[in-house]
Chain A
Amino acid sequence: MPFPASKLNILIRPAAAAAAAFAVAYIFVMIAGGAPGAAAGALLEGAFGGRYAVADTLNRASLLFIAGLAVAVAFRGGILNIGAESQILAGASAAVVAGRLVDGWPGFAAVSALLAAAAAAGGACAAIAAALKRYCSVPEVLSTILLNFIFLQTVSWLVRGPLAETAHALPQSDRVADAAMFPRVFFDTSLHGGFLLACALAPLSWFYLFRTAGGLRLRAVGEGPRAARVAGFAVARIEFTTFLASGALAGTAGGMLVAGHTGRLYDNISCGLGYVAIAVALLGKLHPFGVAAAALFFGALDSGAAEMQRSAGVSNALALVVQAATVLAILAFDRFAGAARAEAA
């Protein structure tokens, strides 16, 4: 074999699944009474038509990437963190608090402080579930789902209570200081610093997972916890820190949401980003570069869907259908390939 099948599959399988998903979408557009050709054109136009569209796609993809990476790191370490949503909300809340305190700071310091606060809050949120797992044996799937409910309501309370805007007109916070917002300095578009952060995190996380002793320990605990124990790895501690790192990444995504997009906190600010992140992570085969590709795909769908609604009259709800269908198709292709492999072994 000239090229390892596993490496090839990382590219081909998601592409085949995406094609299958588009076929499903095509049928849905027909049923909805739209013109599939025009809808597809609008989708592509919205995602890649010109630098503004591309900038929008990259911004969305950056956010999805960091949230997806948070999930991927946890899953690699055997931690089923379903709580990226709560960690994102914790991160966004802390980002708003920090972003308002840094008024008058120089830009770089202000943005850094906002992100650091977001990461710390996300990590702290994950620490609740991590501690419950480590000291009380509460399964993290359960605790993180429940924490999602709690943090959703906490944000709702924050924007009506302690963080409510001065005008008290809407259930939302005041805007953070301008210095704490990502500067939009690229090519005269909306592309912001979050993109740089994502570009840095992709190779860094790959390097950590596959080129360091810590990464080997993390993957060993995830793939073979009993072998990791025999190896003398501190399994419980590694699980705990993996969980915290995952939470910190998700929290950072929450900070990016504020510093790059909303500038403030309000109800339902994350729009289920923490759940889409799970799909992005799985679609990317839990590999940092795979997650980046998946995030790009989802980001393009996101920004394309808006244009599809404007110019082709097709609801952007359809983009959600495509997203969901893609994940299902990927899982189906994966099982299919897995069964083929089992046959060969």
Chain B
Amino acid sequence: MPALLEARAITKKYPGVAALDGVTFSIASGEVAGLLGENGAGKSTLVGVLGGAIAPDRGELYLSGERIRLRSPADAAAAGIGVVHQHESLILRFSVAENIALAAGLPAFPKRAAMIDAARRLADRYGLNPGDPAAPCESLSVGERQRVEILKALSRNPRILLLDEPTAALSPREVAELFHVIVRLRDAGVAVALVDHKLHEVLRVCGRVVILRRGKVVADMLTKDSDERGLATAMIGKAPAPPARAMPAREGEIVFSVDGVSTRGRIGSLALRSINIKLSRGEILGIAGVDGNGQREFVDYLLSTRDSAGRPTTAFIPPDRRGEGLILSFGVDENLLLDETLLRNAAPAGYLSPRTRAESSAAAIVQYNIRAASSSAKAATLSGGNQQKIVVARAMARRPGVLVAAHATRGLDVEAASFVHGEILNFTKNGGAVIYISTDLDEIAALCHRTLVFARGSALGPFEIPWSAADFEAIGAIMAGGGR
């Protein structure tokens, strides 16, 4: 097949690292190509180059065999290249219809009814339901926002669609819907590039897989010639660790409980309905469910709980790594101290010497293998996996009794995710108890002793492992009925 879009020998260097080192990547009309790689392998940089957001240091782009130069995302859009970014780019106060209209191009005097109509037609055409087109985006769940992002890209009828980890926040059903859309686009002749971490997903939908490692293409093969294990090995350069397995829970002592908590729903937030949780030493309690069914509100409730000394009762791996887990403009060392308890220990008299800061962070950097240019490098310069290592290191440093981990592996690659799982299992081996919130059922099934499913602010269950076929069915039914 002749390539529709081709990148030849692209090199992009940042201080200290070559994000892309002579990468050649092509994609043909009617093809779905998977782009795989660990965090920091250069996937997002490549998407940035193809989407006109990043200017490469060297290398050329060809569209239908002709050399093109992309000076901005607008250039790329004009050339028929649509991008769905990993981090959402919606104007939250604007409605779904307005966000889509902004991407599609506005007439001089936009009419509300026409915008809503256009949004609805676009959604129907692709079978992607983003909820009420007149609703402000801030009231949507993560999954719905993701669909709006995709609709934005589709609104300009792109010939090439780049999807940067679109499934990170979606439930299995939403993923299936998205893949259905991708297949339809492919059959209509669109070239689709899918950046993803989940190997089985890539195998399901992509005809060809390109694997990046440390800025270089290490494999470019047809999916029919490969399997999950082979791909994982190519990605990380060694055989992957076996999947996480939960330890049998130790019965007995309840270390944490939530007794009949209900909250009032405000605009844009859901009411929690009498949530009851009892957590034993060494237990991992899973909280499954489609995003937007009260998980956020439950995390907010847990964040507000304090012990008798006024300290937070649990350690957190918060759901929004970049907004809640870290301060991106702060150094790695300062981020490792973003915890009241740790900060008091590091600076008992209030004085935080550069030496204390360096020593405490150096230990964590070594122990958790955080890859950063220096201990004072800004968190924004780290890859997602290394950012999450900071969050995990900090949560563990407190030696908490209870850990609340929300979407702890979202957007992480196989190796980084298995690192997080390993840390959580270690933690429970030493008697810790974990509340593990995730939308990824495979992950929850592999990790958690008991699972509650959130649906419209209520917690249904529990389901004990191992799940029977009937359990799977019941959980699927709750999730299918529980979406807003």
Residues of A near any B CB (own CB < 8 A): 1, 211-217, 219-220, 223-224, 226-233, 343-345
Contact = CB atoms under 8 A, between A and B. Distances in A.
Interface of B: 14-15, 55, 303, 311-312, 316, 318, 320, 323-330, 334, 337-341, 343-344, 346-347, 350-354, 380
Q: By DSSP majority rule, is chain A's interface helix, strand, loop, or mixed? A: helix
A344 B352 contact: no
Given A1-B15, A211-B352, A230-B324, A216 B337 contact: yes
A212 B380 contact: no
B344 A220 contact: no
Given A1-B15, A213-B346, A216-B334, A229 B303 contact: yes
Contacts of A1: 15
17 contacts: A1-B15, A212-B351, A213-B343, A213-B352, A216-B334, A216-B337, A216-B343, A219-B330, A220-B338, A227-B324, A227-B326, A227-B338, A228-B327, A231-B343, A232-B312, A232-B339, A232-B340
A10 to B, nearest CB: 15
Contact of A224 (B14, B312, B323): B323
A229 B353 CA distance: 24
A211 B55 contact: no
A1 B374 CA distance: 13
A212 B324 contact: no
A227 B15 CA distance: 27
Contact of A227 (B327, B340, B341): B327
A232 B341 contact: yes
A230 B299 CA distance: 10
B358 to A, nearest CB: 13
B338 A231 contact: yes
A212 to B, nearest CB: 5
Given A227-B323, A230-B303, A231-B339, 17 more contacts: A1-B15, A211-B352, A212-B347, A213-B351, A216-B343, A217-B343, A219-B330, A220-B334, A223-B327, A223-B329, A224-B328, A226-B323, A227-B327, A228-B338, A232-B341, A343-B55, A345-B380
Nearest to A231: B338
B346 A220 contact: no
A233 B306 CA distance: 12
Contacts of A220: 327, 330, 334, 338
Nearest to A226: B324
A94 B351 CA distance: 33
Nearest to A222: B327
A212 B323 contact: no
Nearest to B321: A227
Contact of B325 (A215, A230, A343): A230
Contacts of B337: 216
A219 B341 CA distance: 17
A64 B337 CA distance: 34
A60 B183 CA distance: 70
